Chain A
Amino acid sequence: LQIFEYNGSAVVAMVGKNCFAIASDRRLGVQLQTIATDFQRISKIHDRVFIALSGLATDVQTLYQRLVFRHKLYQLREERDMKPETFASLVSAILYEKRFGPYLCQPVIAGLGEDDKPFICTMDSIGAKELAKDFVVSGTASESLYGACEAMYKPDMEAEELFETISQALLSSVDRDCLSGWGGHVYVVTPTEIKERILKGRMD
């Protein structure tokens, strides 16, 4: 029983010109059986920070609820939203607290920082941060995703082109993975708007 492959997931985030895109698949399964095709993996922390969690679905939901709670507390005390770098450190600390009984998920964090500079990072299940300038991936389809992103990514893409690129990378990678897919969910975030789109994918 491979615990990270129990539910199946695919998550990817990409950096563009003063914008970022974060995408995930929509399948929730129990090993080979598909249970749902509308599972929410990407969550908004605030207008400029998004987190997507791959891995065991129960930990995805619980960890998301804990992080929202911590951010609301921060908002009350500091009277402002968290910066994406700060949020990433918070996630890393929360994951390491459970070093000897970890949350079985791998988060992907994406946000717009100071001066609308996009920020992305990913972590393993015990909080090791990995910052990247171009793209980060996570989930059962991660190897395919690395290949697809490496081939399709260009720096400084505008929002529309970034959406096309991330969607194609996600759909072609999950089509090579039994445990993820059944549609896609993409958020493209610019300083002025958040665009949420559902992708029509192969439902097999």
Chain B
Amino acid sequence: MKLDTSGFETTMPTIGFGSSNDMLDGFSTVPSFDLPRTTDFDGFQKEAVQMVKPAKGTTTLAFIFKEGVMVAADSRASMGGYISSQSVKKIIEINPYMLGTMAGGAADCQFWHRNLGIKCRLHELANKRRISVSGASKLLANMLYSYRGMGLSVGTMIAGWDETGPGLYYVDNEGGRLKGDRFSVGSGSPYAYGVLDSGYKFDMTVEEASELARRSIYHATFRDGASGGVASVYHVGPNGWKKLSGDDVGELHYHYYPVPPAIAEQVMEEAAAE
């Protein structure tokens, strides 16, 4: 059964209709990827899904509060047990007033967020007004739905501020799209939820909210092996997003739980005995 997707097409005309304009071909329509030429397509698809392994070793979170949306993430990339990087940017700047978080396959998230940014800009040019957070998340969700079952691994949150106020949506590779006030995505999300849910109040100041976000990420990096590195915190307000902090989680631990310094007398005694 072929789904009728004509409603999903954008209203703006394809530029260079019929002619082969390499620069714009990829943007104006659904990017078409070559399908693999294999006798066993289903088996290949199964292997492709396993390759990226939608385990989503990461911790990202976002929540709406009185002053806007707070978005935070860790910065570790892991390949099985090996830490491949401690400095990955998991909060993607789609445009100056919208942020996306990365969980799952890094390549998938980076590509599709950039693609979304392009689509949002084209919408602005065609309609002479900014796209809403609801609209942007829907564009992404529909795109991911059309690749369902092919092994994409994307667990993202779209956070932004539009005419209706702060907006937060969760979008994943299954094509799911949820509107909500509080989300956490990734292998460290249970730990982050624990701290976030117990400390959350709608009426928080920006400082209180950013401290809550930072603490939640810190606790997730402590307990979860696949999260770590730097806890980045961003705030999305009526004038767009602003990066608030990027603290190394190793140092945050000793900031929250300082080690009592060793007593000086002991050291003096040892020297005297020699």
CB of A109 closer than 8 Å to a CB of B? no
* Number of interface residues, chain A, beta carbon within 8 A: 18
Cα-based distance from A47 to B253 in the complex (angstroms): 35
Min distance, Cβ A160 to any Cβ of chain B, angstroms? 13
CB atoms of A33 and B225 under 8 A apart = yes
CB of B27 closer than 8 Å to a CB of A? no
CB of B83 closer than 8 Å to a CB of A? yes
Partner of A175, one of B57, B83, B227: B83
Are A32 and B83 also in contact (CB < 8 A) when A203-B253, A204-B222 are?
no
CB of B8 closer than 8 Å to a CB of A? no
Min distance, Cβ B85 to any Cβ of chain A, angstroms? 10
Min distance, Cβ A174 to any Cβ of chain B, angstroms? 10
Cα-based distance from A5 to B78 in the complex (angstroms): 14
Cα-based distance from A203 to B251 in the complex (angstroms): 9
Min distance, Cβ A177 to any Cβ of chain B, angstroms? 6
Q: Which residues of A contact B223 (CB under 8 A)?
A: 33-34
Cα-based distance from A204 to B225 in the complex (angstroms): 7
Are A176 and B225 also in contact (CB < 8 A) when A200-B254, A203-B250, A204-B250 are?
no
Are A204 and B228 also in contact (CB < 8 A) when A32-B187, A34-B223 are?
yes
Chain B's closest residue to A182 (CB) is B222
Min distance, Cβ A36 to any Cβ of chain B, angstroms? 11
Min distance, Cβ B270 to any Cβ of chain A, angstroms? 11
Min distance, Cβ B104 to any Cβ of chain A, angstroms? 15
Partner of A32, one of B224, B249, B253: B224
Chain B's closest residue to A31 (CB) is B225
Cα-based distance from A140 to B227 in the complex (angstroms): 17
CB of B90 closer than 8 Å to a CB of A? no
Q: Which residues of A contact B74 (CB under 8 A)?
A: 204
Q: Which residues of B contact A194 (CB under 8 A)?
A: none
CB atoms of A5 and B81 under 8 A apart = yes
Are A34 and B222 also in contact (CB < 8 A) when A200-B259, A204-B76 are?
yes
The 8 A CB mask of A165-204 against B (1 = contact, 0 = none) is 0000000000111110000000000000000000011111
CB atoms of A202 and B225 under 8 A apart = no
The 8 A CB mask of B162-175 against A (1 = contact, 0 = none) is 00000000000000
Chain B's closest residue to A143 (CB) is B82
CB of A29 closer than 8 Å to a CB of B? yes
Cα-based distance from A141 to B249 in the complex (angstroms): 21
Q: Which of B217-236 contact A (CB under 8 A)?
A: 221-229
Q: Which residues of A contact B250 (CB under 8 A)?
A: 201-204
CB atoms of B222 and A203 under 8 A apart = yes
CB atoms of B254 and A178 under 8 A apart = no
Q: Which residues of B contact A31 (CB under 8 A)?
A: 225
CB atoms of B225 and A34 under 8 A apart = yes
Cα-based distance from A102 to B142 in the complex (angstroms): 51
Q: Which residues of B contact A16 (CB under 8 A)?
A: none
Q: Which of A123-174 contact B (CB under 8 A)?
A: 140
Cα-based distance from A176 to B224 in the complex (angstroms): 14
Which of A31, A179, A201 has the most chain B CB atoms inside 10 A of its CB?
A: A179
| In the complex, the 9 A-B pairs of residues with the closest C-beta atoms, listed nearest first | A204-B228, A202-B250, A178-B225, A204-B221, A203-B253, A32-B225, A204-B249, A176-B83, A178-B78
Using CB atoms and an 8 Å cutoff, list the residues of chain A in contact with chain B.
Answer: 5, 8, 29, 31-34, 140, 175-179, 200-204
Using CB atoms and an 8 Å cutoff, list the residues of chain B in contact with chain A.
Answer: 57, 74, 76, 78, 81-83, 86, 187, 221-229, 249-250, 253-254, 259
> Mind listing 8 A-B residue pairs with CB under 8 Å?
A31-B225, A34-B223, A34-B224, A177-B82, A178-B82, A178-B225, A202-B253, A203-B250
Q: Using A178-B78, A178-B83, A204-B74 as known contacts, list a sample of 8 further A-B pairs with CB atoms less than 8 Å apart, ordered by residue number in A.
A: A8-B225, A32-B187, A32-B224, A32-B225, A175-B86, A203-B222, A203-B253, A204-B228
